[in-house]
Structure 1
Amino acid sequence: MSNIIKIITVTFFAAFAFKIATPFALASNLSFTETFIGLALGGTIGVLVSFFGGEYIIERWFTKPITTTSKKRKVFTKTNRFIVQVLKSHGLLGLAIITPPLLSVPVGSIIAARFNVRYFKNTRYVLSYLLGGVIAWALVLSSLTYTLPYLKSLF
């Protein structure tokens, strides 16, 4: 398999989850630069598509009148509580930091889009945090992917 196909595959996986893309890049024997480019490009594409798609859906969904009269009880899972805790304590910066490694890129982007539609109304501000978080995590994960095997061989 040529390196371009491997980079495209890493990019595709990174658009959804860095947890899948990083081990695949390591198993594919890509260089640090190729891994970083694949992770950063895929994460950026995932953020942009999910953010604007989520924003569009949220704006359409919340402008419709509610026709049901029965009130459904909200279900709070451990993940929901964790996300709410991060948003309350650290805000958008905290969400941008936890999105690539812990949440998937689309989930974090849609939560940020909801946050943007409801509170900020400043797409540039929200996107800069999300994209900064994705690029920072791409750099960190690419670095760890290629330094850990070296450190392991020392011991």
Structure 2
Amino acid sequence: MIIKLLHIVILASVKYILTLPYAMIIGVEYKYAILAVLAGGIGGFLFFYYLSKPVNRGFNWLHPRVCAMVPYSMKLRFKSFCDRHKPKKKRRHFSRKNRFIVRVKTSYGFWGIIIATPVILTIPIGAFLANKYYGKRKHIVKYMIVSIVGWAGVLSGLIHLFPKVFF
């Protein structure tokens, strides 16, 4: 039983929406499944949220040093990767990816990340985006925990309303 609960906690810390139906399918009692899913979701968010800042700092510190050691022939192949930190003299060119990120950030923004993280995004990606773009906001961790708890309530309600779909 403890191994099943630990498995559910670890799964919930990565892919939250699939975990509660999975816990019910493998035969875990409902109250233990809810507690394990909540512990995994909240614990996973806190872990990845506080881990993402040192990882970003380390990448920003390591990136120019790696590009300085890369041979010239490899720099030609990965030109956009190594030219990222050089000062640009010409006008900035927006790629399709940059436009998509700006569109998502301006359209959905803070609340889009908060609401979509447990369901559409995964917990690690949502924690990374929340820390990168909105890390200075005061209550982002509290809002994300409320979102995780709220989605657990929605998922458990769906399981109770439509048990034949999940079993």
TM range (shorter): 0.7 to 0.9
Whole-angstrom distance in 1 between the partners of 2:95 and 2:103: 16
2:49 matched residue in structure 1: 51
Say yes or no: does 1:125 pair with 2:123.
no
1:27 matched residue in structure 2: 25
Identify unmatched segments of 5+ residues in structure 2: 68-74, 82-93
1:99 matched residue in structure 2: 117
Say yes or no: does 1:113 pair with 2:131.
yes
Q: Kindly report structure 1 stretches of 4+ aligned residues shifted beyond 3 Å.
A: 62-75, 83-86
Q: CA deviation at 1:65?
A: 7.2
**Aligned 8 A contact 1:15 1:43 in 2:** yes
Provide Cα deviations, 1:79-132, integer angstroms capped at 9, x if missing partner: x93x65443123212111111111110011111111135xxx23x422112212
Q: CA deviation at 1:139?
A: 1.6
TM-score when normalising by structure 2: 0.70
Kindly report which structure 2 residues correspond to 1:35-74, keeping only aligned pairs within 5 A, or say none: 35-62=33-60, 66=64, 70-72=79-81
- Per residue, is there more helix in 1 or in 2? 1
Q: CA deviation at 1:76?
A: 2.6
**Aligned 8 A contact 1:32 1:142 in 2:** no
SS at match of 1:5: helix
Q: CA deviation at 1:16?
A: 0.4
> Which one has a bigger Cα radius of gyration?
2
Identity within the alignment, %? 22
Q: CA deviation at 1:64?
A: 5.8
**Greater displacement, 51-60 / 142-151:** 142-151
**2:157 aligned partner, one-letter code:** S
1:76 matched residue in structure 2: 97
Identify unmatched segments of 5+ residues in structure 1: none
Corresponding residue to 2:163 among 146, 149, 153: 149
**2:49 aligned partner, one-letter code:** F
Provide Cα deviations, 1:30-54, integer angstroms capped at 9, x if missing partner: 3432222111110011101111111
**Aligned 8 A contact 2:20 2:34 in 1:** no
